[in-house]
Structure 1
């Protein structure tokens, strides 16, 4: 059998041949770049008007010169086991040990800090003293995940877990009153150290023969209570042992107390006005016995104990753990404080005019609290055991159900409530001067009546009352009133956390790749022949929504698909296959079937399939209507743009399904080419459906072995489809993806280990002129 490469009326018939009775080919406009690619293939060894060649399977010649970063996909040499995945699967194990509230907690997994706005990429419920195990995909370039734990009362706790390997585990609460709002992993002295040594005598960073700026010095073993350490010149001193060190001085350096360290320092000085930093990591403990007057940044994730504190105006203190001033010495704060954990001051505490104190959890003053600056009590709890004095320049803000409890109060400044109603509780005497204010969303509750307030002190809705219910929590052990956690549908999930509070069969929406994010599927449609590798023949963005019940089972699956481009002449269909049998599907709605190509069962799945196969649409040209008269849709920037089409596909199940039985989004997405149902194109390494024409495997440029997982790849392991777990700008028509993205080639040839963020708009990644605009 023979085939031809023909010139027809100024166009090129590419790779036209009969394979098992099927003609494989497409007509496109001629162009030099495509001709050059054809020249590189063996079926264009010599170019004449009529060229007869053998019909045997072509292969890429071995003498192609491969550059360090090839601009042509056909030049790439890709590891056989690489399937062009841009994500990685992680196995999570969570435990909730002796949680302070009954009911189900909600766990959310984020690939970026939640405030970035991408939304979580996985949600699941967790009960106290129970385990939660699941697998979730995150972008391959992510090196840590953010875990947000929501309690039934609506309070939350953020944990940051570094990714090392494929499994992550974490226990919340661990039987303690976990009041802090964040956890991170501690470094150690087994890695990341430029110099490792034990401590004895006096030591200064620049005295070490190996010292240099920004060097990390790791100290192991025990500290014997003699000598001292001086940290200088942006160096890092990391303490991994325990014991006592008489003197530590930091001059533009960093002191790290690791999770293995329990350190007492008699005299700790942060001398420079800036560039000083102390970090106490989870599990670590730092005790300072002198009056601590720091300059620079102090961050505590576990325990700091002080004899006395004078926080200078250029210092910043962030507490996520337990921070105690343990003697009756007075504390003076001139710098800014952010408290996400528990802070206790045994003596008097003064917050001066230069200081802003943001309290998100627990602040306890066992003496007097003098306020000359600003306190923002944001859903937190403040307790003053003696007298609270709010002076003329002082102001306290209580946000969203915050609580302030004190024995006595003297107001000469302002107190303001924001958001939902907060409360001030006074067990002793209430006094205030004229001109002082209590305003907005506040209740003032004095147990034995208000002694001495001006008549106009309450403004803008604030009032003397004790009615508001403030629930106890890990941060607020006192509360006000009898708190009830509402659960209207009695499914065990508090209304505060329930996305469907009046529907007992539904409780949460878990999105992938995120509630406000999309992934992208991009296809070449000449399979089993090579195309031009612009990956724009069909481009579909996707976002999946698992509707979960309280038992973490999937009740409904909703797919949102945004069709963006048609970079070829073919009318292609698009579908997905789940790991479930077809009989598990109750109903499908939202699919667009316009041609006589596929046969659909009463439940909306495709007939003749073992696993549930849903055809989203059978003709992309009926989805993205070409009204411009141009050859292609949204692949040539100079041509008019057609609005993207958004389609919502709704899949319900006969019975709720565990997530693992459905598969990992985006599941098994595929196209079928130009009305030929059996001519499927899947992601590399994915299985064909039961209706695929397996006779096409191993023909032309495809090198699929149907008896293995090495599917839909060429002999040099190129795919015909890619899945980008994140936003993706596809190339301009006939621009090779390896040219448009500078590091696509190095990523592919490394098997995905290098340049994992190749598709993200970072400096040097993208050649903007090669992308469709």
Structure 2
């Protein structure tokens, strides 16, 4: 805001406009020499419509993500840095705290996502992460121009685990003694490098389809504490009648390369008897990891009965007698030379040193509608307890020999897109201002909930009036890029709104009154105890048809001065249909609808600015309170950013 205070009671609006024009022109003459030229070297380039800077901190990107048809309806998140870290103890892969995604979405039924997105301008490479079970976890790629293309497979996915953290030689692995010293029984030999068994039964391999995988994604989401009714104290499998039993590798979301084994005992055995039975356990998979068995491959192993002496019967060893219980154990990172003590976790809860259950069991249905018995295990102590680290399918012949509880089919999931940032406005358009960009300062945090078809369900916009360094009465509003009349409900601070002016949402008409400083001059604001005021806007869609890629906060924000029809927008953001702005005008050299340029100041400074905060939450504390001090004086790197247009310059630091 200009550094003068006119007695409004003594002059009318017309006279005020004249005075403003005269003073602003005089003031601009001392600005123009050193715009982006702190040394006053006089080498400032004239701003034209061919060389102007738009001061944007976001850019439009076309996302072309393809997981393949094996991963339909896959949820993903896009990050500007690696969101995962590897914890060597326990082989745990965890999400980093404080790292925010910049885009999210669901792929279509072909596993593809082809839509635009808004990125911070500083982003030059991205990490595409999916927490979904059965989907490649992490992929890294570059931003090329305005495009991000990614054809993602398990083979080209980024591995956050060490290439090989084992201290064992291949000869030691092949000799099997390193395992049989701990788990005495084996079903055969395996590949010395990968641990892939030589005793897989190809005839019993199953198709781990997307429908099956969706059960674990839904009931055991990655990184969440999923302790619930499916996590049971009694996860050991009762064989109700003589049967052959097959274990199929389902998959897993772990970095650990663990040994998976089983043990047999009579159904009425005591805890001591069960503990004794574990001493005769038998290895199923020496390395129960996708890089050994093939990711979500469904490979099969036939189990053998282990009698009370710890041996396989000579006659029909694959027949498991009725009333036998089968328990399972995970030896965490056993393939990579981890100690057994404290790293063994059992489906029999009473055997676990941490005294918690590590196993969930349920019956799901595959795409064909067939019933499938699923076992999932948590492979570490004091971990996330998400129970999706390793998963297996158990089946029997006859089928009725095994009975486990059913769970409902997973319902459709939802996703959330998030945006945040700061807006600063000058209110003297079309003339030059003092360029402190604090006449109206708004912070915002927005979330967009959407369904599995990427259609918007609910929008929650929280705009906070943080400051007004103005003498004028300025209103704030924003124009959304969709028809508000199609919304089921629009609520502002608890009050439902039923009529709109176009697609414009007005939050207030006088910023000074909102902050309780109507009679305080701009220069005296710094001495006031200002309490920020937040406005919460909720927009609901009961019949969602609006694509989430259209809904990008902060939309088209603007202020009106004196509640007039003159609007001040961000550079190259078009005024609403209710505005009376004319282009070019005064210091604004843009040509409006003639060429699609708007709000471009000949001084090279913006009339309004948006600072995206998704990569740096501290931006929400951006201080623009210094009155009559140009923003490049408050933040010296601002001029360097404007000169070089280098998006990596963090001028707010």
TM interval, short-chain normalised:
0.5 to 0.7
CA separation in 2, counterparts of 1:465 and 1:662?
43
Q: Which residue of 1 aligns with 2:68?
A: 97
Deviation track 1:388-422 (CA, whole Å, cap 9, x = no partner) reads 999xxxxxxx9xxxxxx9999xxxxxxxxxxxxx9
> Kindly tell me: are residues 125 and 378 of structure 1, through their superposed partners in 2, closer, same or farther at Cα, counting changes over 3 Å?
closer
CA separation in 2, counterparts of 1:581 and 1:562?
24
CA contact (8 A) 1:624 1:642 kept: yes
1:567 CA drift (Å):
0.6
Q: Which residue of 2 aligns with 1:159?
A: 139
Q: Superposition pairs for residues 277-676 of structure 1, below 5 Å?
A: 300=163, 311=167, 329-330=171-172, 364=195, 380=256, 382-383=258-259, 424=329, 442-444=346-348, 461=355, 469-471=374-376, 476=390, 478-479=392-393, 487=409, 490=411, 493=412, 498=413, 507-512=414-419, 518-590=420-492, 603-606=498-501, 609=502, 612-626=503-517, 630-632=520-522, 636=526, 639-653=527-541, 655-659=543-547, 662-676=550-564
Q: Which residue of 2 aligns with 1:709?
A: 596
Q: Superposition pairs for residues 220-235 of structure 1, below 5 Å?
A: none
Q: Residue 41 of structure 1 is aligned with which of 14, 20, 28?
A: 28
CA contact (8 A) 1:566 1:634 kept: no
> Kindly tell me: are residues 143 and 464 of structure 1, through their superposed partners in 2, closer, same or farther at Cα, counting changes over 3 Å?
closer
> Kindly tell me: are residues 439 and 79 of structure 1, through their superposed partners in 2, closer, same or farther at Cα, counting changes over 3 Å?
same
Deviation track 1:573-597 (CA, whole Å, cap 9, x = no partner) reads 111112224543443211699xxxx
CA contact (8 A) 2:36 2:642 kept: no
CA separation in 1, counterparts of 2:430 and 2:19?
12
1:423 CA drift (Å):
5.1
> Kindly tell me: are residues 11 and 658 of structure 1, through their superposed partners in 2, closer, same or farther at Cα, counting changes over 3 Å?
closer
- 1:699 pairs with 2:591: no
1:670 CA drift (Å):
0.7
Deviation track 1:302-359 (CA, whole Å, cap 9, x = no partner) reads xx8xxxx9849xxxxxxxxxxxx7xx5126xxxxxxxxxxxxx78565899xxxxxxx
Q: Superposition pairs for residues 76-115 of structure 1, below 5 Å?
A: 77-78=46-47, 80=49, 81-99=52-70, 104-114=73-83, 115=96
CA separation in 1, counterparts of 2:574 and 2:357?
67
CA contact (8 A) 1:364 1:384 kept: no
> Kindly tell me: are residues 77 and 349 of structure 1, through their superposed partners in 2, closer, same or farther at Cα, counting changes over 3 Å?
farther
Deviation track 1:422-455 (CA, whole Å, cap 9, x = no partner) reads 95179xxxxxxxxx9879984249xxxxxxxxxx
Q: Residue 150 of structure 1 is aligned with which of 131, 156, 175?
A: 131
> Kindly tell me: are residues 25 and 73 of structure 1, through their superposed partners in 2, closer, same or farther at Cα, counting changes over 3 Å?
farther
CA separation in 2, counterparts of 1:157 and 1:634?
54
- 1:757 pairs with 2:645: no
More helix by share: 2
CA separation in 2, counterparts of 1:578 and 1:85?
18
Aligned residue pair count: 481
TM-score (norm 1): 0.52
> Kindly tell me: are residues 99 and 571 of structure 1, through their superposed partners in 2, closer, same or farther at Cα, counting changes over 3 Å?
same
CA contact (8 A) 1:510 1:546 kept: yes
Q: Superposition pairs for residues 236-255 of structure 1, below 5 Å?
A: none
1:180 CA drift (Å):
8.5
CA separation in 1, counterparts of 2:180 and 2:627?
63
Q: Which residue of 1 aligns with 2:111?
A: 130
Deviation track 1:192-239 (CA, whole Å, cap 9, x = no partner) reads xxxxxxxxxxxxxxxxxxxxxxxxxxxxxxxxxxxxxxxxxxxxxxxx
CA separation in 1, counterparts of 2:145 and 2:359?
55
CA separation in 2, counterparts of 1:622 and 1:73?
42
CA separation in 2, counterparts of 1:675 and 1:615?
11
1:613 CA drift (Å):
1.5
1:13 CA drift (Å):
8.6
1:688 CA drift (Å):
0.7
> Kindly tell me: are residues 170 and 24 of structure 1, through their superposed partners in 2, closer, same or farther at Cα, counting changes over 3 Å?
same
Aligned to 2:347, the other structure's residue is in SS state: strand
Aligned to 2:632, the other structure's residue is in SS state: helix
Q: Which residue of 2 aligns with 1:415?
A: none
CA separation in 1, counterparts of 2:40 and 2:103?
36
CA contact (8 A) 2:59 2:120 kept: yes
1:150 CA drift (Å):
2.7
Q: Which residue of 2 aligns with 1:689?
A: 576
Aligned to 1:556, the other structure's residue is in SS state: strand
CA contact (8 A) 1:93 1:132 kept: yes
Q: Which residue of 2 aligns with 1:737?
A: 631
1:66 CA drift (Å):
6.4
CA contact (8 A) 2:454 2:548 kept: no
Aligned to 1:657, the other structure's residue is in SS state: coil
CA separation in 2, counterparts of 1:464 and 1:741?
54
CA contact (8 A) 2:429 2:568 kept: yes
CA separation in 2, counterparts of 1:635 and 1:110?
39
Aligned to 1:108, the other structure's residue is in SS state: strand
CA contact (8 A) 1:94 1:132 kept: yes
1:133 CA drift (Å):
0.8
CA separation in 2, counterparts of 1:73 and 1:13?
37
> Kindly tell me: are residues 567 and 170 of structure 1, through their superposed partners in 2, closer, same or farther at Cα, counting changes over 3 Å?
same
Aligned to 1:545, the other structure's residue is in SS state: strand
CA separation in 1, counterparts of 2:104 and 2:341?
43
1:93 CA drift (Å):
0.9
